[in-house]
Structure 1
Amino acid sequence: MPRTAVVLAAVAALAGGALTGCAQDADDKDAGGSSGGGGGGGKGKTTLTIGVFGAFGLQEAGLYEEYERLHPDIDIKQNSVQRNENYWPALLTHLSSGSGLSDIQAVEVGNVAELTGGHADKLVDLGRTSGVDKSAYLDWKWKQGTTEDGKTIALGTDIGPTGICYRKDLFEKAGLPTDREAVSRLWAGDWDKYLRAGERFKEKAPKGTAFVDGATGVMAAVHASGTQKFYDADGELVYKDSPAVKEGWDLAARFAEAGLTAKLQQFQPSWDQAFANGSFATVTCPPWMLGYIKDKAGAGAKDQWDVAAAPRPGNWGGSFLTVPEAGDHKEEAAKLAAWLTAPKQQARLFDERASFPSASAAYDLPAVKDAKNPYFGGAPVGRIFSRAAEDVPVQPIGPKDGIISQYLADTGMLGVDQKGTSPDKAWGKAVKTIDNALDQ
């Protein structure tokens, strides 16, 4: 999904008590900070600066304060830029110049491949930092922050493993099962089964309701669940011939042509209103989406929504922490980055902010293992999303994933869904736009 969509999602999720480090914050400073930290935090203390985008969650969860208590010689200062689309270009500029950088810089998942592919020499190998245990993290997340030659320049904070959120009341009226395990079995392992469940829903659906919000959401979910999307393992652009891209495009088009969608574009006002109106029965949802739904659907929809497993899980969202080589306090910064991303702190971040851990070692901790969501009928969200996270495929990420995803959705599939454009014509238009954007 486009980065702007994820940002908007988490903004609303903040109001609903759940987000992933992708929201907005009151501060809007430069992407960098103190050009590597420095003094100023008190006599004899070292000030470490952390550059983030939006309400990243670490400060809000009290983790900086706890680290300062455990390390009285350290002061932590956060520099927050409101939106990643402003933060990221500035960060690249600072990395190139070697100045204006914070001691730690956050990076969004859609940008990490650009760092591992072209800027690794400007970042510290955090995999060698004391206390960092590769086995404590999900393999696919670890690989996202690691270069081809094995240098881990980015430690994962959160992830967005996907499930399917569904309206129990609408399912019941349409004659479908409502128990989350039974619902999961409806489409287990096969996106085509998801479509067939939609066809069953349509036969008896309450008037004015659709099975799914929109075709673009279906397409993105299928794309995220494949082992290859827009780039191959060698970093070559392959989206035109990728089986997962074709599967996602074709399935989404079938949803649209079968009249199973509410023809909505995600994160637009009409989409938000549809939650409140109960206009559709299912939507792909990572953990941070739960807060968004609660906020938009309102108190009246409590216990009407539930969470089931996706046909095949994918990942939607997530971030990393990096330490620039140009920093004045690289050793101290690396230790802080390792501590902030350790399983115990990730579990706390999930408990406080609903940012789902990328450290699989956190899944057995009570804050994750026993987590339930009362708005979603007491759904055991810790268990549901832990299972999904462990089954997310290792998928190559390319430097232009965000651009390709956005144009396939907005220039391509949205036309099929909302205007009845033929899938072949819409595909051609999207490819032309993408190639122009990538100078192909």
Structure 2
Amino acid sequence: MIAAAASTAAIVLAGCAGSGGSSSSNDKITLTVTTFGTMGFDKLYKEYEKAHPNITIKATNIDTGGNAQTDWQTKQAAGAGLPDVQAVEEGWLSKVMQVSNSFVDLRDYGANDIKSRWVDWKVKQATDKSGRIIGYGTDIGPEGICYNQKLLAASGLATDRASFEALLGGANATWDTFMKVGQEYKAKTGKAWYDQSGFVWNAMVNQLPEGYYTKDGKLNVKDNADLKARWDILAQGAAAGLSSNQTQWDWGKGKAFTDGSFATFVCPGWMLGVVKGQVESAGGDASSGWDFADVFPGGAANWGGSFLTVPTTSKHPKEAAALAAWLTEAKQQVATFQAAGTFPSVVEAQSDPGVTGQSDLTKFFQGAPVGEILANRAKGVVAQYKGPDDSVIQEQVFGPSIQQLDAGKANGEQAWNNAMTLLDQLVVNK
């Protein structure tokens, strides 16, 4: 009888999780949600409230994943102020895993019964060493290249998407080729090739089998020949004037996307909505010429991706888990893709016509089959292990040196050595 009761309970919980659930009473409750960037949930909150009249959703969206991490860490340390549903970015998931017991084990609310919903590595990322599943996956970040079709055509280097992809080498595209083409573009136009070196470096690191940490969690920066070789390529590009030296996440209210400041941009799926938003902020639209190409130097790469978690401080963990599960159902993930270009980690959603077919993003990016391109770019992607100080290394260790490269204040060797000094100060000897 006990085993039968447990089985029945699991079925009930799974049903709640899969359908969006409902409160065990008609008491009115408020669920707080903290997200970041452009996740595409806004309209879905209203839909959920309509289907659950006793639930009000109070959503807070923080501008960037880095600022969201700071917000979470501050509240986590204080033991207060955390929302019912906390979005977590892949880059700081390892820090969350260090305190995974402070997040609800979603298996208690049916996670095991729906885990086949996601690509398997997404579930593994959100599973702690004790086997607890603490997050439901939203998007993954397969990468392609955004480029301005008008600018490339005017330079005489490429007239359309197919010729641009071929220009970079198609399936055999390399970073060396990317920089070589950039130098040709610079010679013909006098303009920069990409917006700034930080995003390029991030992409270079992310596509390695192991990045700043080895798969078993050991720091992997100093004496890393693969990292150093890519750094040298990056430094050569900056020295050649290929970077527009833009400030990360600040493009002058989108003006740099419309005034020809640069011609290419590193684009994981979630960045497509950012590009569209920046262009529109500057008064532009599809006629501004931005396109999305099925090509990426060095092969498959993943940048980012998020999870929805439920902190144990939530007063409504059942309802919070149900909301998180509903937001990551295939139908809702298709809707977030259409709203923000966030490519789903949910398998069923990846092949849905709402992802593979026409959308506002398709229209904006010169008719590019955005969903099909991202599905193709996702082939071969396996998320890299991110260690506890991964974001610190990216932003605070290499960030200043990248700015030095772009500003011409240091050569590659000097900038690398400066980064190693910061690594010792901020990570190794902290």
Give the TM-score of the pair, scaled to structure 1.
0.79
Q: Does 2:291 match 1:306? A: yes
Q: Unmatched 5+ residue regions in structure 2?
A: 1-22
Q: Does 2:417 match 1:431? A: no
Could you tell me which of 325, 328, 338 is aligned with 1:341?
Answer: 328
Matched to 2:385, the amino acid is P
Counterpart Cα distance in 2 of 1:352 and 1:377: 17
Q: Which residue of 2 aligns with 1:119?
A: 99
Alignment of 1:20-169 (within 5 A): 44-45=26-27, 47-54=29-36, 57=39, 60-61=42-43, 63-72=44-53, 74-80=54-60, 82=62, 88-89=69-70, 91-92=72-73, 95=76, 99-116=80-97, 118-127=98-107, 129-130=109-110, 133-169=114-150
Q: Which residue of 2 aligns with 1:263?
A: 245
Q: Which residue of 1 aligns with 2:164?
A: 183
**1:353 to 1:125, Cα distance in 2 relative to 1, 3 A:** same
Q: Does 2:178 match 1:194? A: yes
**1:215 to 1:101, Cα distance in 2 relative to 1, 3 A:** closer
Measure how far apart 1:98 and its partner are. 5.6
Name the Cα RMSD after superposition: 3.0
Measure how far apart 1:370 and its partner are. 0.4
Is the 1:166–1:307 Cα contact (8 Å) retained in structure 2? yes
Could you tell me which of 307, 316, 319 is aligned with 2:306?
Answer: 319
**Greater share of helix:** 2
Counterpart Cα distance in 2 of 1:67 and 1:274: 38
Is the 1:160–1:288 Cα contact (8 Å) retained in structure 2? no
Measure how far apart 1:94 and its partner are. 5.0
Measure how far apart 1:322 and its partner are. 0.8
Measure how far apart 1:388 and its partner are. 2.0
Q: Secondary structure at the match of 2:263?
A: strand
Measure how far apart 1:433 and its partner are. 1.7
Measure how far apart 1:114 and its partner are. 0.7
**1:302 to 1:243, Cα distance in 2 relative to 1, 3 A:** farther
Q: Secondary structure at the match of 1:160?
A: strand
Q: Which residue of 2 aligns with 1:294?
A: 279
Aligned length: 395
Counterpart Cα distance in 1 of 2:419 and 2:253: 23
Counterpart Cα distance in 1 of 2:78 and 2:193: 51
Q: Unmatched 5+ residue regions in structure 1?
A: 1-40
Counterpart Cα distance in 2 of 1:85 and 1:299: 28
**1:395 to 1:55, Cα distance in 2 relative to 1, 3 A:** closer
**1:267 to 1:256, Cα distance in 2 relative to 1, 3 A:** same
Counterpart Cα distance in 2 of 1:135 and 1:43: 30
Counterpart Cα distance in 2 of 1:230 and 1:44: 49
Measure how far apart 1:346 and its partner are. 0.8
Counterpart Cα distance in 1 of 2:348 and 2:228: 35
Could you tell me which of 371, 391, 407 is aligned with 1:418?
Answer: 407
Is the 2:239–2:411 Cα contact (8 Å) retained in structure 1? no
Measure how far apart 1:284 and its partner are. 0.8
Matched to 2:179, the amino acid is L
Matched to 2:123, the amino acid is W
Identical counterparts, % of pairs: 35
Counterpart Cα distance in 2 of 1:99 and 1:262: 42
Counterpart Cα distance in 2 of 1:145 and 1:92: 18
Q: Which residue of 1 aligns with 2:342?
A: 355
Counterpart Cα distance in 1 of 2:27 and 2:215: 45
Could you tell me which of 201, 204, 228 is aligned with 2:210?
Answer: 228
